[in-house]
Amino acid sequence: MELRLAGVTDSRVLNALEAVPREVFVSDPFLEHAYDNRALPIECGQTISQPLVVGLMTQYLELGTRDKVMEVGTGSGYQAAVLSRVARRVYTVERHEPLLRQAEERFKRLGLTNMVTRHGDGMKGWPEQAPFTRILVTAAARQIPESLSDQLDDGGVMVLPVGDEDRQWVMRVRRQGHRLNTERLMAVRFVPLLGGLPPEHPAG
């Protein structure tokens, strides 16, 4: 009800949020706050977004049951799990291998079978599986990455935070042929989107 009052009105998104147990994705020290509407820290200096932001960003994607979604930044896996309840298939990329392996275990525990994971540089997306009808980025880019928008199908939608440490906005990008139409939707605060892989986990 709190999320509905705050603007998450898509019944499929609300059902997905209700179906995914957030406590599965929260680190042990923060379990008592699993259902607080706030972001929480996870390993590798990352965060799990507050349920309201997850709900709104999922809603902004305008997902259908046939959509093929790429998520950049698996993190805890919570956002991907919500997406999997609404979309046909979710391809999720994470640069921190320990986070990805934890997320994979959670997906398996919850019986989520329409999920494909990859350890890699999220800034590069997943060219081998492109194009995607929907793309969701869960870290803030300085500007809309061409490497990701190029993987968006004609008529597709990408939702991502854009900005610096001081000011970020969730943007919705629609591809129409060679044109990208953008909308600014809400102010947020995300960890930065970084290229490459952490030095302790070289590509392999």
- Which positions are annotated as active-site residues? 49
**Alpha carbon distance 114, 28 (integer Å):** 27
**Alpha carbon distance 63, 192 (integer Å):** 25
Give the neighbor-by-neighbor strand order of the sheet with 132-137. Answer: 115-119, 89-94, 68-72, 132-137, 152-163, 168-176, 179-188
Torsion angle, CA of 106/111/115/117, rounded to 10 degrees?
A: 30
**Alpha carbon distance 118, 102 (integer Å):** 13
Closest CA to 93 of 66, 65, 128: 128
The pair of three-digit structure tokens given for residue 135, joined into one six-digit string: 């793309």
Number of other residues whose CB lies within 10 A of the CB of residue 126: 20
CA angle in degrees (0–180, nearest 5) for 47-127-102: 30
